[in-house]
Structure 1
Amino acid sequence: MTHPYAGTGDHTGSYYATSANPSPERPPVHGDITADICVVGAGYSGLSTALHLAEKGHSVVIVEGARVGWGASGRNGGQIVNGLNASLQTIERRYGRDTATFVAGIVQEGGEIIRDRVVKYDIQCDLKPNNVFVGLTDAHMRELEARQALWRSYGIDNQVMLDRNQLRNHVKSDLYAGGLLDRTGGHMHPLNLALGEAAAFESLGGVIHEMSPILSADTMAARPVVRTAQGSVTCKTLVLCGNAYLGHAVPDLEPRVMPVSTQVMATEPLDPDLAADLMPGDDCIEDIRYILDYYRLSADKRMLFGGGTVYGGSDPKDIKVKLKRNMDKVFPRLRDARIDYAWSGNFALSFSRVPQMGRLGSNTYYAHGYSGHGVTGSHLFGRILSEAINGDLSRFDVFAGLKWYPFPGGRALRVPYSVLGSWYYGVRDRLGL
């Protein structure tokens, strides 16, 4: 079939796809289907929403444009990092103390959902604890200290400051001045998490249709309809979780977010002694620069190293070259390591860096725009969407009521505007400001 954005629809040639657990191919939508609830997208947002609803006894159908976890959910860095892209300080300044207090009360919930799902459904995804934010300069360390103090002011006190020597118990690199350890973070095989959640959903009677990109959606109807190349789904409630890959199918949502690509590569399996020496804590690491590096060890001791952004969602010419020079700065001893895999994928950026949630019409819900923090955010928002559909709008209404901001210049200028901003902050990173 001709696919509008995913080629054959098969998973990209990533390390995750190669090491994925077995998963069945689900049939596409054929003919006209009716459903109580239709969820568009079998990434984390859609799977989280659908699984929560299925656990509550609802009948749910998922319509996925490619394969389960094909997009960001199956390609990301695999890091469980608490918080939104926008800081609590930014949220308080923009939306007020009450909203910031509400957000602070739920920023760790996404990680809790993941850990609960893994245990409850015995999902084999190499789940490991701990993430560490690292700083390269004294200014970065002051920023991390301020972050710890801010989170403590909201009652979150599970982060530990690490000086240069203490950090070496987690990562052996001379590049860093110190770090901040979050023991409620962690990392896992992201595609296997998605596949496990899909299997859990199906075990409760849920139905998934793959290879069914939606061409249009009637979101304002009392009974919303989504149309694909080979059929349609008419439902009582529609949930749109296409995020960066929804494309032009829902014009009302398209200007709210911008696709941005980020890249990851995987080395050959490292000698176990070398891997343990470089990453003695076996944590996931990310630095706090605007254009950051993030990395961790896989279960088979590959270094999974990611970073970089391309606004508009295109792929760089040579991912390996782009990322290898950054990895060599962090770990000079990996300079000769073979790179076995390199891939790219899109996340949806919102201008405010705050995820968006709301309704189109009376019976169509949506969530998107996690801005690079989608692993935890999508699981949380899936639960909140399920609460709203089940009749409890209390948490949904808080996010639905937050003002969203369009990208300056609209679709025509949003990419050059963002590139200019990225260049400015990149200069600040290089100057250590």
Structure 2
Amino acid sequence: MTDLAYMAVMPQHEFSERRAKLAEQMQDNSVLLVFSEVEKRRNNDCSFPFRQDSYFWYLTGFNEPNAVLLIRKKQGQRQDILFLRPSDPLLETWHGRRLGVEKAAEKLALDQAYAIDEFEAVFARLSKATDCLYHAPQLHPWGDALLEKSAVDFIRVFDWRLIVDEMRLFKSQNEIALMQQAGQISALGHLRAMRETRPNRPEYEIESELVHEFNRFGARYAAYNSIVASGDNACILHYTENDRSLKDGDLLLIDAGCEFAMYAGDISRTFPVNGKFSQPQREIYEIVLKAQKRAIELLVAGNSIQQANDEVIRIKVEGLVKLGILQGDPQELIAREAHRQFYMHGLGHWLGLDVHDVGSYSKQGEANSRNKRNRPLEVGMVLTVEPSLYIAPQAEVPEQYKGIGIRIEDNILITEYGNKVLTSAVPKEISDIEAVMSGKI
């Protein structure tokens, strides 16, 4: 999709409203700078496909590199200015169309637009007698260099991410609609992968089935590098080689999601390559599924991720003790974190423009720690729920469980009535998975 196609599904006034909300939280007599992403070299004279910086997109809806958003607040009045690449017919013939300075202000609901080469002079003029700068240092080195070159001094400098991260954490109705679509398309990709999985196919062929389905329904790219991990590859949390042949009797763990209109889906499913769970696979799977269902029950407004994760750990430890994988009293095992060898990551993460989206996980006033996720959930938040168990081949456990890795992940929206699962179209009950893979549904 081009930037114009994205604009069609996100009204331009929403970007303007976000800038207004941001400006309300700025001090008077201040300026704020947000830098776009730049093109990244792949090799020689080839670049990776361009993907806009999520913060820049959130505030502008503009999908070109080498641009700067400037918000100026003076005597309570806001001014939105964009610096961007000018039109260039020759370069556009080779590398694609540009919006251009002449059309930018009207198209993007801005006050003014300038060529990026004018940044130094215009920024110096607009910053005269301005006390405060809002800037996110080290986010984009090219922006840091441009700002340093401008040689404008400010009395105070603040990081605007403290404000924007909190804004991005709460999704608007337009964002929710896009995320529902991202979840649905991601689910269709997983369904296709289940139906097309069989022994002797390489993992990357199943990855291609996912991408095919994403593209077929309007999602041009995956939201992150897809994990298609068979056998004990599933015990590698971020396995992305995807180059092993699928073996009869193994499980296949897929963690993949599409990016639709810049918003991410993020689903994990684990299922048998031959379409039928073995008894040991079934036993581990049922522990993870029970834990995930209970977590989804608990992840409602007022509760925290930490509360749900505590319950997930209890369910897992009790289940592992019952199977003889852990030995001892469950409470004592939990106290000394014996489960960490099999469940070493968190229960979930925020989801939005980034697959690991921004926002504090801790209560207000406490340090933001990924290990202390005690912030009460609120309506409009979107997060993943992904309990797991990874039993490494070298683990000292009964032989039949070695090398089994299982993760089940869904995306949920916190609502005033509880939560809504955005990815429920792809099955996770054992009987349903086996029915899909046998062609019965």
Alignment TM-score, normalising by the size of structure 2: 0.21
| TM-score, normalised relative to structure 1 | 0.21
Q: Which is richer in strand?
A: 1
Larger Rg: 2
Q: Which has the higher contact order (CA 8 A, sep 6+)?
A: 1
* More helix per residue: 2
